[in-house]
Amino acid sequence: MELISTNVSFDGEHRRYRHRSAVLDCDMEFAVFLPPQALGREPRKVPVLYWLSGLTCTDQNFMQKAGAQRRAAELGLAIVCPDTSPRGVNLPGEDDSYDFGSGAGFYINATREPWSRHYRMYDYVVSELPALLESELPFTDQRGVSGHSMGGHGALICALKNPGRYASVSAFAPIANPTECPWGIKAFSGYLGDDREAWEEWDATLLIPYARERLPLLIDQGTADEFLDQQLNPDALADACEKVHHHINLRMHRGYDHSYFFIATFIDDHLNHHARALGLR
């Protein structure tokens, strides 16, 4: 891991790293917030919240806009923000649109050429990156996962597909039923091909009935979100949860949109949710 930069924040450190990913076959950058408990003369290992960002984002959006560091420092919780896709792998069309290719990896494993060589963000965020960080930084093997929009979709599928790997999961305005929305249909067609049955393993709403672990879901959604009706469909997720008694706390917030102003307003609630599951409260 190559340290790119570091900033002191609430007596902890915000760090940016670069490394060579074997899974993605390219260099990747990511951000880490280390709380003060993991630093100093008597550092201790701390649990980690993995934050998965949305379309067009990099590792920097959450760290600069969400305002999570103060509460994370108080709790003794590390935060890891990976990028949202491979970068600069020179695939045809990777930079043609905001919702496919660069910045839009969708946290799945592509099976369709030419994307399958690099676009394996699911394996990267679930396996490769945590293994690297738990060997190099003062992290325990206790993990939570959260995210926004495309990243909220990513957080949900990572938790649902990996019982026992995460202690907690939450999401802001997730793409809850991607097999039935324009963003998801475009991404899944491009990365996975036209067999819609192959899409089902990457859709949280469709995974809920078969989940082998039922972690409580905390979902925040703004009613003024411009993408709510066409792209996000939290009601489908809530309906799926109700049918199998999977606990979901879907909180609808009047007047809030899809921006980081919304995330910053409620991020402490999510950090507290993860902290309780990780034994920090």
Query: What is the C-alpha to C-alpha distance for residues 50 and 44, in angstroms, rounded to an integer?
Result: 19
- Mean pLDDT, rounded, for 96-124: 97
At residue 234, the pLDDT reads 98
Query: What is the C-alpha to C-alpha distance for residues 105 and 90, in angstroms, rounded to an integer?
Result: 15
CB 82 within 8 A of CB 162: no
- What is the CATH number for 233? 3.40.50.1820
Supply the range of the domain harboring residue 271.
2-278
Q: Catalytic residue positions? A: 149, 225, 258
Half-sphere exposure of 131 (CA within 13 A, CB side): 8
What's the pLDDT tens digit per position in 222-269? 999 999 999 999 999 999 999 999 999 999 999 999 999 999 999 999
At residue 167, the pLDDT reads 98
At residue 277, the pLDDT reads 98
Q: How confident is the model at residue 160 (pLDDT cuts 50, 70, 90)?
A: very high
Label residues 90-129 b or e (16+ Cβ within 10 Å = b): ebeebeeeebbbbbbbbbbbbeeeebeebbbbbbbbbebb
Query: What is the C-alpha to C-alpha distance for residues 35 and 48, in angstroms, rounded to an integer?
Result: 10
DSSP state of 161: T
Q: Is the pLDDT of residue 169 over 90?
A: yes
Label residues 188-206 b or e (16+ Cβ within 10 Å = b): bebbbeeeeeebebbbbbb
At residue 281, the pLDDT reads 76
Q: Is the pLDDT of residue 40 over 90?
A: no
What's the pLDDT tens digit per position in 72-91? 999 999 999 999 999 999 99
Torsion angle, alpha carbons of 71, 170, 154, 229, to 10: -120
Choose among 9, 38, 24: nearest CA to 83.
Answer: 24
Place of tokens 């949305």: 54
Structure tokens at 46: 């701390």
Q: Which percentage of the chain shows pLDDT scores above 70?
A: 100
Choose among 141, 145, 143: nearest CA to 154.
Answer: 145
CB 254 within 8 A of CB 51: no
> Which residues are paired to 125 by β-bridges?
none
Contacts of 209 (CB under 8 A, 6+ apart): 240, 243, 244
Count of domains observed in the chain? 1
At residue 63, the pLDDT reads 97
For the chain, what is the mean pLDDT?
97
Query: What is the C-alpha to C-alpha distance for residues 174 and 188, in angstroms, rounded to an integer?
Result: 16
169: exposed, middle or buried (Cβ count in 10 Å: 0-12, 13-18, 19+): buried
At residue 177, the pLDDT reads 98
- Mean pLDDT, rounded, for 58-66: 97
Q: Is the pLDDT of residue 111 over 90?
A: yes
Q: Which percentage of the chain shows pLDDT scores above 90?
A: 98
Query: What is the C-alpha to C-alpha distance for residues 214 and 247, in angstroms, rounded to an integer?
Result: 7
* Higher local confidence (pLDDT), 42 or 175: 175
